[in-house]
Amino acid sequence: MKRVISVFLAVAAIIALASCAAKLPDISAYGDTPIEISGLLDEDFTITPNELAKFPLTHLSANGVTAQSGKVDKASDVGVTLVDFLAHYGKSPADFKYIRFYAYDKYQITLGGAKYTDDVVLFALASHGKPLDEALQPMRLIIPTAETNQWIYGIVRIEFVAQG
């Protein structure tokens, strides 16, 4: 029993250290870029990467696979999880029928909200210890359990559609 408790405490400490160690590099080049949020509150609003940086930050390392080519995309990003973002507003992914992400280049993806209740979905603000490349700014989405075509970048709008 003592060994189980010791292992549990060691794992908890590693997880705590990993979340504390999430450091964000200088994102001032795009930190004030507005990202439109629709359907989350009674009125639409905007949020910037600088404002998101005030949320709890998470470091996520993941390997994603592109279905068509089989190419592996390695991510090592820092940002805010979907769960933490929604919790800030008193919501959870299960509250939404779907969530749609729009990029500046008109690319968009739709995620079934409830499907991602237990999965990690990261609103990435930096990658590989550096600010996002210009093409990825102001934010990119990392979903380790999804194909990389859902790892949308250049996000400028997020639309939340409620259940019911």
**What was the pLDDT predicted at 164?**
73
**What was the pLDDT predicted at 147?**
78
In this prediction, the residues of the chain whose per-residue pLDDT falls under 70 are: 1-21, 64-73, 113-118
The answer, as to whether pTM is greater than 0.75, is: yes
CA 156/CA 48 separation, integer angstroms? 10
Distances (CA, A) of 72 to 63, 128, 144, 148, 149: 6, 16, 11, 8, 12
**What was the pLDDT predicted at 113?**
62
Range of 144's domain?
2-162
Domain count, the chain: 1
Say which CATH number the domain at 13 has.
3.90.420.10
**What was the pLDDT predicted at 46?**
98
**What was the pLDDT predicted at 65?**
56
Residue range 11-59, pLDDT digits in tens: 333 344 344 457 899 999 999 999 999 999 999 999 999 999 999 999 9
